Amino acid sequence: MIRSAVQSENGKTFVGAAALLSRDFLQSLKGAVTGAYSHQQLLWHFIPSGVPHLGSLWEAGVKSFKTLFYKSTAKRQYTFEELATLLAKIEAYLNSWPLAPMSEDPADLLALTPGHFLGGGPLLATVEPEIKGDTTSIKEDNLPSNEWRLGKVDAVYPGSDGHVRVIDIRTARGLVKRPVAKVVFLPLEASADPQ
């Protein structure tokens, strides 16, 4: 929120006048956006300012962008061309996040990404060998999410309660053992015939 102090003629100080002006500006901006596209009969839903958690999915995307951007720009200054290249790289990273397996074939490790919808193919794809099991993405704390390794479940280790807590995953670099909490399972498409 923008804060400012405004001194009136009688000596009183008003704090927050800029915030009021900012709210008025946002309201006029919303009116301009909705008016410009009113011929398309779009239904707009705006969230209140200051509560980004109401925007869930798109705000998570904004947070991911900000994290990558701030990490990249914290230690140096960029020229216009370098900044444009950096923004294009961040966009490619974010649009390379695996959404689901490309096919139901367990040997196919290629995942569907937002880049497939934008450009018809993967933006930062790496080729993985053909192996069996559920397709997974392995969380690595020291790597950005677009560089997490893909793999297939090779073996599971249920606990005494019968719940699987640890699995073996076959990746391009070999077999690794990981807890289920450090693995993202890519969903398989549900069967069209519910039985």
> What are the tens digits of pLDDT across the range 38-66?
778 778 777 777 777 787 777 888 888 89
> What are the tens digits of pLDDT across the range 144-164?
777 788 888 888 888 887 788
Domain count along the chain: 2
| Domain enclosing residue 162, as ranges | 100-185
3-class SS at 176?
A: strand
Residue 84 has φ and ψ, to the nearest 5°, of -60, -40
Residue 150 falls within a domain, yes or no?
yes
Residue 95 falls within a domain, yes or no?
no
Q: What is the DSSP letter of 1?
A: -
3-class SS at 6?
A: strand
Residue 64 falls within a domain, yes or no?
no
Indicate if 104 and 181 belong to the same structural domain: yes
> Is the whole-model pTM more than 0.85?
no
